[in-house]
Structure 1
Amino acid sequence: MKKGIPKYTSISKELIQKIASGEYQPGDKIPSENELITTYKVSNTTARKSLSEVELQGWAVRIKGKGTFVLNRSEDKHLTRVLGSFHAVKESFNDKLMREGFTPKSVILEKTILTEGVSSNINNRHYILSGPVLKIHKLRYADNTLLKDETKYISLSLCPKINMLDMDSRSLISIYLEKYNLELNNVERTLGNTIFSPSDPNNYFENDIPTAIFILDGAIFCGDDQIVEIEKSYYRGDKYKFAITTKPELIRKKNSKD
Structure 2
Amino acid sequence: MKRIVFVGAGSMAEAIIAGIVNEDVIAAKDVYVTNKSDEERLLFLQEKYGVSIVSADRRELNEANLIILATKPKDIHQAMADIIHHLNDRAAVLSVIAGVSISTIESGLGKRPIARSMPNTSATIGKSATGVTMNQSVSLEMKNSILGLLSAIGIVKEVSEDELHLVTALSGSGPAYIYYLVEALEEAAIARGLASVTARELIIQTLDGAASMLKMTGEEPHVLRKNVTSPGGTTEAGLHALSTNSFKETIASCIYKAENRSRELGALSDKIST
Same fold judged by TM-score > 0.5? no
Q: TM-score range by the shorter chain?
A: under 0.3
TM-score with structure 1 setting the length: 0.25
Give TM-score scaled by structure 2 length: 0.24
Between Structure 1 and Structure 2, which shows a larger proportion of strand residues?
A: 1
Please state which structure has a larger fraction of its residues in helix: 2
